[in-house]
Chain A
């Protein structure tokens, strides 16, 4: 049996970042999880990254225009750490030797409302 759901006052407040990803080589959702964690731990350190409550909620493959692969994803983080996560993701520039670019194109309070940025 799972844990009982916390009362609203004890729950963490989340924000959902919609990110635009460009990559020279194809990536999977698992790769994105690695990239996100690596970027946060590198820029903010292990201690601060523990507060972020990071989770890759959704991962979408977009059109490949021939020059690079394009993806979009929804990443969860804790409400008070949005700027920290944004800046860490913006500083990710390489994965497995190929160039990658992640930038946040939308911020919302629910997954449903973040779908409008996809």
Chain B
């Protein structure tokens, strides 16, 4: 199953075009990401969108929090936790990276390397990611939209993340972060690119599996009493 948890959400019509293109290219599930300001408005047409696309592809929403203020991130997470199936925080700032990986309510730390000269992760943060089950997301679009030395540096950051991933085995997810149909590629191309950067077939399969696990876990989150204890419906 091919999951993409980060396709940039737009209007209802644009989302349909993007989803149909993704379906044509072999994707099984996509999440449209919206910022904390647009998320509430986007929820208004979510059901309609799902009904329109139910025959082609399954879709959902990701809340993408973009802020350098840790308190604001914490407030947004608490506010939207019950409404969003996946919450990701855009990284880059070291404080944001750390606070996101330490927060169990956050599902994904997106692009910890953003606007940095290093990967934005170290062994301490990698252990935190594993402990709190926060996935680290790498975006194909960052490579696609850059060129020459900038592209090389981002690939180098990816490789630093892979080194930590192989040692600490934290959840890693790969996504396209497509803005338009020009940014969507077939699943085979997507896999081939990440293989070229150094990931194995097994790692890539695992990343798609991790993405599906995040969504599955969050569907049951309201039944979670605390970590390891879940309320089960016995059917009576």
Q: Which residues of A contact B (CB under 8 A)?
A: 22, 42-43, 68, 82-84, 86-87, 89-91, 93, 99-101, 103-105, 107
* In the complex, chain B residues whose CB is within 8 Å of the CB of A68: 181-182
* In the complex, chain A residues whose CB is within 8 Å of the CB of B48: none
Contact yes or no, A103 B25, CB < 8 A: yes
* In the complex, chain B residues whose CB is within 8 Å of the CB of A107: 188
Interface residues on chain B, number (Cβ under 8 Å)? 20
A84: nearest chain-B partner, CB-CB: B196
In order of increasing CB-CB distance, the 10 nearest A-B pairs are: A90-B189, A87-B193, A86-B192, A101-B182, A83-B192, A87-B196, A103-B185, A87-B192, A90-B185, A99-B182
Contact yes or no, A90 B145, CB < 8 A: no
Q: Dominant SS at the A interface?
A: mixed
Between-chain CB contacts (< 8 Å), 22 pairs: A22-B182, A68-B181, A68-B182, A82-B192, A83-B192, A86-B188, A86-B192, A87-B193, A90-B144, A90-B185, A90-B190, A90-B193, A91-B144, A91-B193, A93-B144, A93-B145, A101-B181, A101-B183, A101-B184, A101-B185, A105-B25, A105-B186
B195: nearest chain-A partner, CB-CB: A83
Most B CB contacts (10 A, CB to CB) among A22, A101, A107 go to A101
* In the complex, chain B residues whose CB is within 8 Å of the CB of A43: 196
Q: Which residues of B contact A (CB under 8 A)?
A: 25, 143-145, 147-148, 180-186, 188-190, 192-193, 195-196
CA distance A104 to B193 in the complex (A): 12
CA distance A42 to B196 in the complex (A): 14
CA distance A87 to B184 in the complex (A): 13
* In the complex, chain B residues whose CB is within 8 Å of the CB of A22: 181-182
CA distance A29 to B188 in the complex (A): 24
Query: Could you tell me the distance in whole angstroms from the C-beta of A103 to the nearest C-beta in chain B?
Result: 5
Query: Could you tell me the distance in whole angstroms from the C-beta of B11 to the nearest C-beta in chain A?
Result: 15
CA distance A10 to B185 in the complex (A): 35
Q: Dominant SS at the B interface?
A: helix
Most A CB contacts (10 A, CB to CB) among B145, B183, B192 go to B192
* In the complex, chain A residues whose CB is within 8 Å of the CB of B183: 93, 101
* In the complex, chain A residues whose CB is within 8 Å of the CB of B147: 42
CA distance A93 to B144 in the complex (A): 7
Query: Could you tell me the distance in whole angstroms from the C-beta of A64 to the nearest C-beta in chain B?
Result: 14
Most B CB contacts (10 A, CB to CB) among A22, A84, A89, A90 go to A90
Given contacts A42-B147, A87-B195, contact A93 B189 (CB under 8 A): no
Contact yes or no, B182 A86, CB < 8 A: no
* In the complex, chain A residues whose CB is within 8 Å of the CB of B196: 43, 83-84, 87
Contact yes or no, A100 B182, CB < 8 A: yes
B148: nearest chain-A partner, CB-CB: A42
CA distance A86 to B190 in the complex (A): 9
CA distance A86 to B191 in the complex (A): 10
Query: Could you tell me the distance in whole angstroms from the C-beta of B7 to the nearest C-beta in chain A?
Result: 15
Query: Could you tell me the distance in whole angstroms from the C-beta of B151 to the nearest C-beta in chain A?
Result: 8
* In the complex, chain B residues whose CB is within 8 Å of the CB of A87: 189, 192-193, 195-196
CA distance A101 to B25 in the complex (A): 13
CA distance A103 to B181 in the complex (A): 11
* In the complex, chain B residues whose CB is within 8 Å of the CB of A101: 181-185
B180: nearest chain-A partner, CB-CB: A99
